[in-house]
Structure 1
Amino acid sequence: MRARFKRLLFLVHRWLGVILCAFFAMWFVSGVVMMYVGYPKLTDAERLRHLPPLAAEAPLLSPQQALARAAVDAPLKELRLAAASGGRSAYFATPKAKGSATVAIDAMGGTRLPATDRARALASAAAFAAPGAGLRYLDVIAEDAFTHSRALDAHRPLHRVEVDDASKTMLYISGRTGEVVRDATRSERLWNYAGAWIHWLYPFRGNIFDSYWSDIVNWLSIAGIAMALSGTVVGIMRWRFVRPYRNGGRTPYQGFMRWHHIGGLLFALTTITWIFSGLMSMNPWRVFDTDAAPLQAQALEGGAPSLAASVAAPSALLAAAGGSVRELRWTRVQGRVVVQAFAAGGKPVLLDGATAQPLQLDPAALRTAAAQLLPGSVPRFAMQSVYDLYYYNRDAHTMTGGSAKPLPVLRVEFDDPQASWVYLDPYTGAVVGRSDRGKRSSRWLFAMLHSWDWLPLLERRPLWDMLLIFLSIGGAVMSITGIVIGWRRLGKKLRGSGVPRTIRLP
């Protein structure tokens, strides 16, 4: 029985290794690339830096006027004003109804902007790029290697424009609103083929395998865990801890087999950890879902009038904000319409949407409203002034980086079945994060184990870099030796079966 089990372990590890060692080597190498070059994205901070300033002297309509002329009367989830569509000022209104598309409205005439054409795509690219940069219109696409993100679905099809700058930046322009929604330099694009694109198995996206992509990733990860676990058991069984083999070593193998045996024992734990945490990144079979109740946004809004009721003229708002304002954003907080005026960087200026006067939110009222965001009592409020294990910031290029994580932040802890936490920016009153039992489990089993984004380690770079690169090199060596061993074993099997390895043409 023991001999049969031992043989089964050998066979499982051997033949899974023939198939999977190439994937393992690819994952280790591409993981190192992703430490420094992430999948292309356009962060909000980057987008604001590239937007042209809004002209205070321009005859811009108020939101009430623009929405009335464009016949947009549905409750709005978001309303923005920016010179982001063809380089001219436009309102971008997103209805609350699920699946509703954003409507772009000319801020001076009040007419709905049509679907983006080549001319408007080029104009948007010109406004985004450096002054005088040459532009080359390429085509219209539904999706390509750098636009697999589901966040872009509302903007498809996408126009592609290449900027003739030193970076050969590729801009992707929304086919619906005319906004630049993604940028990717030539360096990012090239490195991504050796990084995120191959690491996330994106060759299976955007083609006949697209609907099976999640299953492919999940089952390859499960098979990888089985291969690594079986190899670890075999490696321990074949290692002589007390009495060495006749060759004087602790391992019976020579050459590549020796390197693979030793490397496997040294790096087995980190390999299993990374493959398992990669599987957890997919939230397989919804294991982290908790059926948490949706946030009751009206608790923060306080019964405020609709965004369409904002009558303050943009010229007055821009004058009150001062500086070079790139975007005005209307929200509802504490029973009033609040306008956030964004410059190229830093915090937005808060203005009253009716009077254009500067305002400051009431902290006590914000806590009272926050306690009603979810059912259940609130045993604890915490004003957090530093990042911690669950609320932290990563570099913009990383998978979990790029979104705003302001400090200080108010953490509201609910006594509900999901043990929910809600993070509020006390300055703007916006929800900037939400966590529950499932997400905190995902934090440990995915982000912590996969990226090692533990603050004491991240704050001591390049220690984090050196550690992850060393472990990745060790894993890659183990995988490459496995490829050589597997190839040789496959060759022997083919020769033994009489199947020719090459075909000679007459």
Structure 2
Amino acid sequence: MLKLARKYHKWLMYFIGIQFLIWSLSGLYMVSQDIHGIHGESVLNKASAIDLDKVRFSINELLQRYPDAKNVQLQAYANRQVYRLQSDQHDNKWLLIDAVSGDLLNTIDRQMAIDIAKRRITLAANDANDANTANNANKANKANNSNIASIELLSAQHPVEEISPRKLPVWQVQFDDGLATTVYIDHFSGEVVNIRHHLWRIFDWMWRLHIVDYDDGADINNPYLWGLSILALLATLAGLILTIKWLANKFSRITTLSSADGTKQLLRVRSKWYQAIHKLVSALVVIQFLLWLISGLYLAGFSEKVVLPKQPQWPQNWANSLANTSRLLDIAMLRSKLSGQAANDQIALQSVELIWRFDAPHYLLTFYRGAHQYQPRKQLLLHAQTGQPVVLDKASVVNLAAALNPQPQHISDTKYFYGMPKDGVFSRDIAGFSNPYWRLSLADAQQTYLYIDAQHGGLIDVSTTNTRIDDLMLKLHFMDYANNGSFNHWLIICFSLLSLLMSITGVIWLLKSLQRKRLTIRKAGGFVS
């Protein structure tokens, strides 16, 4: 068996040894780069704060003009208070309405795109204190000192590889910095939809190399990845047998010697330096390499895609049905409704969004939030007609779950999670989620969990028995045993370094072996005396 394992390990590695090296190198790059920095979040400033005193055009006037409005938001752009909304009458394109005059604003022009890019992006801190406070609120008020290298309006007729075609049209604003930082701004809404730079571009290519998709890096379930992974799995299993045998031989010799002699025997190197390093490192990482291959194959081919139920939908013509006595509370009056901590934070109010909850319109006030829903944020839900704060308790989230699930199931358990640590201990079962939420357990065959956000009442995730297997495989692949929802940590970086060392020494061993075989053949043929 040992002879077969050595034979198959060697010959399989002749075919896929370079791919092992590529996997190790690309994996090391990706885990060693902060993913939030790769996405450009480290240079993205907080959105400008809303000045409620400047809001003159009321929400009721807005709805009278656009009765089919949806996704209505109040935000600030370059010291201008603006409503953003979508309307069926305008092909669901984003419309910008001046919150002072009520005028329909034009789409984002060239100069506005430049202003937005400079206000939202900070590429270099002015002092050491700024460098240590990348998300400080004052950054949003600082103009970017970097020059604009180019600006171009991209449309479906002029797409680029860095951004999805479904996000077009956008303004492409490129800064004249060392990383060629490029900001993509929605042509209609003025939102920053993507940030790209050279580190991201390298990451993108590393991802393509990692999943063996050299086209667009979108297909993780491709035949090349499957074929190479299966060969790699067989080669690694053969390597595991060799490693176990090598360790068994080492320790069997130690047991027959004194402790001092045994230590010398363990450390004695009879092989070439690259062979010795390869064997020692393999003993440390071979099990994890197997876990990477098995979990990677599972995630590529068997991971279950769960489609979230739609959030509660707005009734047809709901705005027209509002009686005069039940008009929405003017947004400008929200200042008097804020109390406690929210009142202290109102100067940093970033947005007011009109959403539908509990068969009624509500305001969702956002004071701060990250780029992703799992990142820390502070939000407040108010009834849009009374202005009263809404507390999402156990009874209310059960009602929300009934509205989300068209086929009601018996709820067997309801549990609240803090998300952020309380008394030094994390309370969560969604990896990396840092906000409070409710988990509702349904009594169905799939043991379904519904996760409802405790701040805005929206559905954030659905978990079944199959998706929990997916989560386990992702945890094994990322070595995320602390449940932080991240692959940027010291443990996986250390193992990636060791894996790269194992791959490099393995390739050297293969090349030396090929060189010896070539010399042997030449001698046998009489070419070498």
Shorter chain as normaliser: what TM range?
Answer: 0.7 to 0.9
C-alpha separation in 2, matches of 1:101 and 1:267:
52
Residue by residue, what CA displacement relative to the aligned partner does 1:267-311 show, whole Å, maximum 9, x if unpaired?
Answer: 10112223333444xx32353246x6x53644xx79798478674
Q: CA deviation at 1:115?
A: 4.6
Which residue pairs with 1:406 in the alignment?
435
Q: CA deviation at 1:168?
A: 8.4
In 2, are the aligned partners of 1:92 and 1:102 still within 8 Å (CA)?
no
Question: Which of 191, 204, 215 is the aligned partner of 1:197?
Answer: 204
Matched, 1:454 2:481: yes
User: The residue matched to 2:404 in structure 1 has which SS?
Assistant: coil
Q: What fraction of aligned residue pairs are identical, expressed as a percent?
A: 16
Question: Which of 375, 379, 382 is the aligned partner of 1:351?
Answer: 382
Give runs of aligned pairs for residues 72-83 of structure 1, distance below 5 A.
Answer: 73=68, 76=70, 78-83=71-76
Which residue pairs with 2:95 in the alignment?
104
C-alpha separation in 1, matches of 2:4 and 2:208:
36
Distance 1:5-1:227 versus aligned 2 partners, 3 A rule: closer
Distance 1:143-1:238 versus aligned 2 partners, 3 A rule: farther
Which residue pairs with 2:137 in the alignment?
none
Give runs of aligned pairs for residues 427-506 of structure 1, distance below 5 A.
Answer: 427-446=455-474, 448-455=475-482, 465-489=489-513
TM-score w.r.t. the length of structure 1 is 0.73
Which residue pairs with 1:11 in the alignment?
11
In 2, are the aligned partners of 1:158 and 1:175 still within 8 Å (CA)?
yes
C-alpha separation in 1, matches of 2:467 and 2:171:
32
Which residue pairs with 2:525 in the alignment?
none
Q: CA deviation at 1:328?
A: 0.7
Q: CA deviation at 1:223?
A: 4.2
Residue by residue, what CA displacement relative to the aligned partner does 1:456-506 show, whole Å, maximum 9, x if unpaired?
Answer: x869xxxx95544432332221111123223444556778899xxxxxxxx
Q: CA RMSD in A?
A: 4.4
User: The residue matched to 1:348 in structure 2 has which SS?
Assistant: strand
Which residue pairs with 1:334 in the alignment?
358
Distance 1:431-1:236 versus aligned 2 partners, 3 A rule: same
Q: CA deviation at 1:252?
A: 7.0
User: The residue matched to 2:378 in structure 1 has which SS?
Assistant: coil
May I ask how many residue pairs the two structures share in their alignment?
454
Paired residue type of 1:261: K
Which residue pairs with 1:367 in the alignment?
398
Unaligned runs of 5+ in 1: 395-404, 499-506
Distance 1:51-1:35 versus aligned 2 partners, 3 A rule: closer
User: The residue matched to 1:178 in structure 2 has which SS?
Assistant: coil
Q: CA deviation at 1:444?
A: 0.7
Q: CA deviation at 1:354?
A: 2.9
Give runs of aligned pairs for residues 298-317 of structure 1, distance below 5 A.
Answer: 298=312, 306=318, 311-317=328-334
Q: CA deviation at 1:414?
A: 0.9
C-alpha separation in 1, matches of 2:95 and 2:72:
10
Which residue pairs with 1:138 in the alignment?
150
Paired residue type of 1:451: F
Distance 1:157-1:450 versus aligned 2 partners, 3 A rule: same
In 2, are the aligned partners of 1:267 and 1:471 still within 8 Å (CA)?
yes
C-alpha separation in 1, matches of 2:316 and 2:365:
19
Q: CA deviation at 1:382?
A: 1.4
TM-score w.r.t. the length of structure 2 is 0.70
Distance 1:179-1:211 versus aligned 2 partners, 3 A rule: closer
Give runs of aligned pairs for residues 75-474 of structure 1, distance below 5 A.
Answer: 76=70, 78-84=71-77, 88-94=80-86, 102-108=93-99, 113-129=105-121, 130-134=141-145, 135-136=147-148, 138-140=150-152, 147=162, 153-162=166-175, 170-183=182-195, 189=197, 191-192=199-200, 196-201=203-208, 208-210=215-217, 214-215=221-222, 217=225, 219-236=227-244, 241=249, 253-280=271-298, 283-289=299-305, 294-295=308-309, 297-298=311-312, 306=318, 311-318=328-335, 320-321=337-338, 323-324=346-347, 325-344=349-368, 347-355=378-386, 357-361=387-391, 363=393, 364-374=395-405, 375=407, 376-385=409-418, 387-388=426-427, 390-393=429-432, 405-407=434-436, 409-446=437-474, 448-455=475-482, 465-474=489-498
Paired residue type of 2:49: P
Range 196-205 or range 20-29, more displaced: 196-205
Q: CA deviation at 1:122?
A: 0.9
Which residue pairs with 1:29 in the alignment?
28
Residue by residue, what CA displacement relative to the aligned partner does 1:416-454 show, whole Å, maximum 9, x if unpaired?
Answer: 2332211223343222333222221111111x2123333
Residue by residue, what CA displacement relative to the aligned partner does 1:16-45 show, whole Å, maximum 9, x if unpaired?
Answer: 21x2232133045314413676531549xx
C-alpha separation in 2, matches of 1:288 and 1:441:
9
Distance 1:312-1:274 versus aligned 2 partners, 3 A rule: same
Distance 1:137-1:95 versus aligned 2 partners, 3 A rule: farther
C-alpha separation in 2, matches of 1:348 and 1:88:
22
In 2, are the aligned partners of 1:379 and 1:413 still within 8 Å (CA)?
yes
C-alpha separation in 2, matches of 1:156 and 1:232:
52
C-alpha separation in 1, matches of 2:102 and 2:185:
22
> Relative contact order (C-alpha < 8 Å, sep 6+): which is higher?
1
Q: CA deviation at 1:179?
A: 1.4
In 2, are the aligned partners of 1:201 and 1:217 still within 8 Å (CA)?
no
C-alpha separation in 2, matches of 1:206 and 1:175:
31
C-alpha separation in 2, matches of 1:50 and 1:371:
35
Question: Which of 43, 47, 52 is the aligned partner of 2:48?
Answer: 52
Distance 1:411-1:158 versus aligned 2 partners, 3 A rule: same
Larger Rg: 2
In 2, are the aligned partners of 1:327 and 1:341 still within 8 Å (CA)?
yes
Distance 1:191-1:259 versus aligned 2 partners, 3 A rule: same
Residue by residue, what CA displacement relative to the aligned partner does 1:351-408 show, whole Å, maximum 9, x if unpaired?
Answer: 33234x23224632432332453232111111234545632436xxxxxxxxxx422x
In 1, are the aligned partners of 2:27 and 2:210 still within 8 Å (CA)?
no
Unaligned runs of 5+ in 2: 122-140, 254-264, 370-376, 420-425, 523-529
Distance 1:95-1:6 versus aligned 2 partners, 3 A rule: farther
Distance 1:385-1:239 versus aligned 2 partners, 3 A rule: closer
Q: CA deviation at 1:11?
A: 1.0
Q: CA deviation at 1:212?
A: 5.3
Distance 1:360-1:389 versus aligned 2 partners, 3 A rule: closer
C-alpha separation in 2, matches of 1:414 and 1:352:
28
Range 480-489 or range 136-145, more displaced: 136-145
C-alpha separation in 2, matches of 1:230 and 1:176:
57
Paired residue type of 2:479: W
Question: Which of 62, 66, 83 is the aligned partner of 1:66?
Answer: 62
